[in-house]
Amino acid sequence: MRKWTFPVLALAALLWTADYGMACVGCREPGSETISKESPTVLAGWAFSWSVLFMLLFVLLIVGGMSLYIWQTCRRLDREAALRVSDG
């Protein structure tokens, strides 16, 4: 029971203060019923925010792929070194 105390209290505190962290009206994503009624400026801002998110995703994919390649190469080199040591 004791190991669940902190996570439960942290979740309760997060949910209790969640309304303070909500986005203002200008930053919220427009709903599907309001997209057709929005001005082109608002729609351009909405599209721009999505394009930034996709660019960040692309960077994360590149860094993740490079990290995976380095990790696999290090594992392969460690296995080869272990085989050389065991062979004598």
Averages of pLDDT over runs of 10 residues in the chain (88 residues) are 81 76 61 62 77 91 97 96 86
Using CA atoms, how far apart are residues 79 and 88, in angstroms rounded to an integer? 15
* Residue 65 included in any domain: yes
* Residue 28 included in any domain: no
* Residue 51 included in any domain: yes
Tens of pLDDT, residue by residue over 62-76, are: 999 999 999 999 999
* Residue 27 included in any domain: no
Number of folded domains in the chain?
1
Full residue range of the structural domain in which residue 62 is found:
40-88
29: left (phi over 0), alpha (psi -120 to 50) or beta: beta
pTM of this prediction?
0.48
* Residue 31 included in any domain: no
State the Cα angle at 37 between 36 and 41, rounded to 5°: 95
Contact 30, 38 (CB under 8 A): yes
